[in-house]
Amino acid sequence: MPDNPASTPASVERTETGAIADKGQTTAPIATTPQTSTTPDTPTDDKTLLTQESKSLVNQPGPGPATSEGAPETYAAFNVPEGYKLDDEIAKEAGALFKERGLTQEQAQKFVDFYVAKTNEAVNAPYEVWRETQADWVKEVRNDPFLGPRLSQVTTTISKAIDHVARANPKLAENFRSAMDYTGAGNNPHFIRMFYEMAQLVTEGGHVAGNKPSPAGQTKPGDVPSAARAMYPNLP
């Protein structure tokens, strides 16, 4: 009994010799579903991922203290205005902070300039108040109804009184005038008015000295008149 040929599907085509015809792949490719990415396409020149220096995000420095690469080993003496002296201890402490923050010499100098400017403002603030006060006092004196019109007379009287009181000690008068200038008291309207009132007591009036005895009834010192002359001084 002859061997039975392997059964094949009826749909399989054969050649004239009975061989199965090779028609290539007959199995349909498995359908695939296109995957959608949740990440948008990024152009190669997108500056959100690449900085202007073309550094990736991983290589970007994060927030925090700066490194000390830019700091010198030792800071040179900082420049300060003429007449200003930067305290050595402050300069030392500031230098340590500058180095910790990685500041260059130029960057550190900017902080020193800021410190010097603010320090000078604090030092000069009281003088500015004093200067403004003096200007207000002078204005008030000139506008005073009593002192203003006779200011020259008032100052002259006060000056004479100072010289009179300190006539035995001229240095005292000099120092007193310096004190009025230094403190500004010489511009205060109340001080001027009070001093003027006191100065008038010292400078107004005074002793009037005569040259010689009057011939009308007076005698020379040591001249004792007679009894008749004492009773009748006007007799020839």
pLDDT tens for each residue of 53-62: 666 656 666 5
Which residues have C-beta within 8 Å of that of residue 105, sequence separation ≥ 6? 72, 75, 76
Phi, psi of 234 (to 5 degrees): -95, 5
Q: How many CA atoms lie within 13 A of 224 on its CB side?
A: 1
pTM across the whole model? 0.47
Q: What pLDDT band is residue 199 in, cutting at 50, 70 and 90?
A: very high
Report pLDDT digits (tens) over 48-85: 545 556 666 566 665 555 444 578 988 999 999 888 88
What is the DSSP code (8-state) at residue 59?
G
Q: How far is CA 130 from the centre of its chain?
A: 17
**pLDDT tens digits, one per residue of 111-158:** 999 999 999 999 899 999 999 999 999 999 999 999 999 999 999 999
pLDDT at 207: 55
Virtual torsion, Cα 101, 104, 107, 108, nearest 10 deg: 70
For 20, phi then psi, to 5°, come to -70, 130
